[in-house]
């Protein structure tokens, strides 16, 4: 069975730095207060990509996470 990679942005941690947007411009969106979120229909990927890794690694608040689900 292969994993699905689900993007999660922890709204309690996100401070709106927008570094995730630089790596995933077609995936990340922002609410009216400037905090990032990922629409449900864009939150799952079949594989872990460099862009996902970079977005997670470059979030200063560790709010951007990618979780492997079976």
Residues of this chain that bind ligand F3S (CB under 6 A): 9, 14-20, 36, 59, 61, 63-64
Is residue 53 helix, strand or coil?
A: helix
H or E stretch at 7: strand 4-9
Encoding tokens for residue 33? Answer: 């207060």
Nearer to ligand F3S, 3 or 16 (CB): 16
When the beta carbons of 2 and 21 are compared against ligand F3S, the nearer one is 21
Minimum Å distance from CB 47 to ligand F3S? 21
- How far is residue 2's CA from residue 32's CA, in Å, rounded to a whole number? 36
Nearer to ligand F3S, 34 or 44 (CB): 34
């Amino acid at each position: 069975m292969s994993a699905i990679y689900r993007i999660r942005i922890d709204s309690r941690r996100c401070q709106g730095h927008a570094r995730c947007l630089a790596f995933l411009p077609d995936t990340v969106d922002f609410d009216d207060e400037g905090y990032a979120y990922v629409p449900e229909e864009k939150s799952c990927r079949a594989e872990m990509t460099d862009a996902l890794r970079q977005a997670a690694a470059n979030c200063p608040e560790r709010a951007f996470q990618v979780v492997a689900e079976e």
